[in-house]
Amino acid sequence: MGSVRREGLTEQLVEKLEKLILEGVLQPGDRLPPERDLSEILSVSRASLRGALKALQVMGVLEVRQGSGNYLSVEAKRILEQPARTLVPLPFLSQAELFEVRRAMEGESAFGAATRATDSDLQKIRHEFARMSACTGDAIAFGKHDQAFHLSIARASGNRYFVWFLALANKVLYDALLKRPTKRDLSVSLVEHQHILEAIEQRDAEAAQNAMLAHVSLNKYYLFDDAAVTQLSFLAYESDGKAADLVDAGVRTTP
């Protein structure tokens, strides 16, 4: 593959992958070399490489398969055909920043769904809610249908950018959430989803947006109390998924 310079590592990896795909060396669905080997090939540290790989995952270029490695997504070629600078996130972005963007889009998505959802769209949202209701004793299965519920709302909004972005962001954030030792009250979550569904069914766009924003909340996701949330700048995460020190001194997570 050839080494890359340390500056602009993510952008260079995007360009390198695009070149390899266009030359037929790599195909969508192919597995990348293990991190240790890839960092040696590219002459960069594993820590720098992980940051770049995470950015590529957010962009939809890579898929991380548990216990197997990093794979080029089926959409990798299409995504990489875009100019690299329009794809690469700004440096040092944190999961908290991604979460905040996701929260804003979720609210707008619910607003749009309440305005434009077809009968078929509503059926799909109801279906995923019913599946969630049947899985309150299984957090993994519940989470699967939770993501599908949100994606169904994005599709019902009629905005394909919502569908594209939320599918990526929700997967990245939910995978990270599963790695943290938190307790999710699925019954409370189910009631919140019900409020979102009912508002969409009633075509009350503002209520749907507010219900979604109440559901997708920073204090719930990061286990902060209300006072701490008001002080939050952005929460950065280390490569192993554990919470790092907050930007603002004095803000701490709940054990």
Long-range contacts of 122-126 (CB under 8 A, 24+ apart): 122/156, 122/200, 122/201, 124/152, 124/155, 124/156, 125/149, 125/152, 125/153, 125/156, 125/197, 125/200, 126/197
- Name 237's bridge partners: 243
Domains of the chain: residue spans and CATH = 9-87 (1.10.10.10), 95-231 (1.20.120.530)
Q: 10-residue block means of pLDDT along the chain (255 residues)?
A: 56 73 81 87 80 73 82 79 56 65 92 96 96 89 89 94 82 62 73 96 97 81 46 39 35 32
In three-state secondary structure terms, 210 is: helix
Helices (H), 117-159: 119-133, 139-157
pLDDT reported for residue 255:
30
Reported residue count of the chain is 255
Rounded CA separation 165/108 (Å): 13
Q: How far is CA 62 from CA 68, 173, 243, in A?
A: 13, 15, 23
- Measured CA distances, 16 to 72, 87, 161, 225 (Å): 13, 14, 26, 44
Calpha distance 108→121 (Å, rounded)? 16
Using the Cα atoms of residue 218, residue 224, residue 229 and residue 234 in order, give the sign of their dihedral.
Answer: negative
Write down the pLDDT at residue 14: 67
**How many angstroms separate the CA atoms of 46 and 85, rounded?**
23
What local confidence, expressed as pLDDT, does residue 118 receive? Answer: 96
Beta strand spans in the chain (E): 62-65, 69-72
225, amino acid identity: D
Contacts of 69 by beta carbon, 8 Å cutoff, 6+ apart: 31, 32, 34
| Terminal CA-CA length for the chain | 44
Its pTM stands at 0.58
pLDDT at 122: 97
HEC per residue, 154-185 = HHHHCCHHHHHHHHHHHHHHHHHHHHCCCCCC
pLDDT confidence of residue 115: 97
